[in-house]
Structure 1
Amino acid sequence: MPLDKPKKRRVAGYARVSTDSEEQLTSYEAQVSYYTEYIQKRDDWEFVNVYTDEGISATNTKHRDGFNAMIADAWAGRIDLIVTKSVSRFARNTVDSLTTVRKLKEKGVEIYFEKENIYTLDSKGELMITIMSSLAQEESRSISENVTWGQRKRMADGKVTMPYGRFLGYRKGEDGLPEIVPEEAEVVRMIYRSFMDGLSYYKIAQLLMKRNIPAPSGGEKWHRRTVESILTNEKYKGSALLQKKFTVDFLTKKQKVNEGEVPQYFIEDSHPLIIEPEEFELVQAEIARRKKIGKVYSSSNIFSTKLVCSCCGGFFGSKVWHSTSKYRRVIWQCNHKFQNGEKCKTPHLYEDEIKKRFIEVCNRIAADKENFVASCRQIVDMLSDCSAFDKQIGTLQIRADELTAVMQAFIKENAENAQDQKLYSQRFAEYEKQMNEVESNLQSLQHKKAERLSWKELLLGMIAELEKTDMMIHEFDEKLWRLMVEKVVVGIEGELTFTLRNGMEIEV
């Protein structure tokens, strides 16, 4: 080989498209063909390869296999020059972009961005890269915020999506909306029945595995958390609480549980139900009751967290007398009766006596059931009117959208024009403070609205049961107890004041 023959530069191309759509794949194939021909037609270049990534975002380089393989080959000395379409195709994260450029520069590897006509090893290269990458990063932020806004708009419009692959009971219908899977729906109903029959999350999971029922993800093993999730997911009652999680960082795509940072949307009757709303709300009340007990749950303790001491305000707990003899009795007394140095004056109660008193309450209601049901319906009508909440929520959502637009414009202006960064940070912190306040108020209103609707569902369940039941009962009815009783205050003379779900008080 002649000594004066110039050495050819080993050149690779890099092509990427960010979605899996057919149109974009066509663009992807065109890029591969273009860079192959573009490199091969140069006499002073030696074609190495066209590295590719498809169907992913460029916001970071962590999961870009083609990109990472190219950088590894360049670092190993197999590539002298990389040709790519533009800065935004290469990376939209300023840090990743500059880190990669500098890493390759150490090895004498150059990058050529065709659209911007930038060679990274010339004198202006790195300055231009910094500017272009910063703008590309801001573009990515804008796209991410627009996508987030679109998702929130769909949520606000009541459009529900589900992770169907691991969501028991539903599949995506032909119209794109959720539809019920009958055999899976029956498993969901069994889980709800088992819970109200007294089983714990763990025991329900064991029961499902014993019956060889596959878990939502398709595996054999059921976990207590999976059972808990099914029992607390409002989608089974045909409603949807949207935006339970949100994306914290548009670059890392990291998500966290929404604790009021962004608005949530509660949509009623958004899709077919599997569990009746009143049954769902009863389960939620039972979950809360068990959590308050503070000890190993016993299915017999339906009176736990229901009986309240009039002296100290504490709950009554169960005690067993003569546990090993034929005189065994379960009694209920104030948990703080012998604490704090002063004995509570409320007497203990036998379970049979509590049940007998509740039967008397039911029989009193039966004597005037029509008026009792009418009063419940009036409360339901009042709870159904959420127009005041909706008006306040709508106003706050408009304010949140306005603040989002202002913040986007502010960020873009800072990216495009040099500003005093101290003043910029102060103003941005003020915008964030305003946004946090708006979103906190939104969260509070959404929560209050959800509580109101839950109370309404409980009352509807009670009404439905009252209308089909002869309230003149002679035996204790556990379902009626769960439906009707909010709490029972025990007086020092042993009198019981029942507070019912509709707010009525009856002393027995």
Structure 2
Amino acid sequence: MKKVTKIEPASVSSLVQRKLRVAAYCRVSTTSEEQLESLNAQKEHYEKYIKAHPDWEFVGLYYDEGITGTKKEKRKGLKAMLTACELKQIDFIITKSISRFARNTLDCLEMVRKLIGLGIFLYFEKENLNTQSMESELILSILSSMAQDESTSISQNSKWSVQSRFKKGTFKISYPPYGYANIDGKMEVIPEKAEIVRGIFREALAGKGCYTIARELNESNTPTKKGGKWTGTSVRGILSNEKYTGDALFQKTYTDSQFNRHINSGQQEQYLVTNHHEAIINHKDFDRVQAVIRQRGSEKSVKKGSSKYLNRYVLSGKIICGNCGSHFKRRTHYTAKGSYIAWTCQTHIEHKDKCTMKYIRDDEIHKAFVLMMNKLIYGYKVVLKPLQAALKTMNGEERITALANLDERIVKNTDRKRVITELVGKGFLDATFFTKELSDIAAEAEMLAQEKKRLENSATGNQKQRLELDTLIHYIVKKPEIREFEDTLFERFVENIVVYSRNEIGFCMKCGITLRERMVN
């Protein structure tokens, strides 16, 4: 018997077209009262503007306050909006202008292309530009370049203004160090916190280390500037800050042309203003503490401004967490039977919930290394010889020829882009065709650049691997057996260690292979 199934007609509500989910993004560049008022005005404007369209649904306002527009990585509101787009929670975005959205041409184009790829478009009010209907990326590229130039100009003017105040000694410290407050543009001492600073200096002069001082401050529930926990780094920052003597050294850091901040190690001028404000520590005690810090650094092979721990122990800076990617830190563990050295993931130390990787013992790493090297001594013909043969078969001349061909293709790609840009500028080329061609050229340029980088790395890296491998084989052929861990041997052949678990680690050899080894208890 035939079976008939009745299909009900679709309801009227299901046939109604879904509203366009619209979000807005706005940003102010500083946290001043006037700018925050501007932010509130923008929020009110966009809510009314979006809700005024019956076919639009307001799904949120994303904003950043007091955040620079030159780098998208520093803007939490923007990142949250992009995440919502990836989750298909937004269909359309409105923003005031390109300069409010991004002042970096590369970031602007990258984000626009990403959103278009997700089927999400943007409307820039000031420029009256809709990425859904614009004929090409050329307009957006020009406008965002102008915004970047404006940002650079503003940055340069700001730098000139700040440096001028540095020279005159009139620069106001907007964020004074612990123990001070900014009152009417002047640094004023906070008595109760100033006493804590004096206590930190006294403890340092008594011979206590920064981490010991930090631990004792935490145990006594002494408040920090931001309400968090004291660390050795924060204590060291106080002990090395000349502002506690009443002097102020300006331009300790500087920003490069790409808006990245660096420590000023002589690249830019610095300005020292003496008797800038009331002192908490006298110069004599401050200089004595600096001498103590230098002495401690000398004893531990620590040099200020360097990667201080890398030269201190043979394993320092070379153990990497296979779980979160952080480096391991050396610590001393105490038990009823005595003490032992262990290595612990830095992330696990600070946030146990973010990384569950526990410590590994120093002596167990040593045993694992000895075991691994002895396995190579007895089995190098199976493990290392095939790799050596494979590396020797790679032809260096073929790489050189391939690199030359790539360079030629890169030049042609650049010429092609220049020609079609000139043609569209003169009106000889259709804008739609130009957009497609420009996209193809950009994709080809990216592919060529990656291929060239791969070949260059292969050309230099392969030769280095061969030399390292030959040296390793030459060593173990003559070595009968390794009895104990040797610092020089480890440093010569091992690049770093990856910790997969408390029971297994991997030795990443300089010759390019990683050898896993079980931990020996």
Task: Tell me the TM-score normalized by structure 1.
Answer: 0.48
Task: Tell me the TM-score normalized by structure 2.
Answer: 0.46
Rg larger in structure: 1
Q: Which has the higher contact order (CA 8 A, sep 6+)?
A: 1
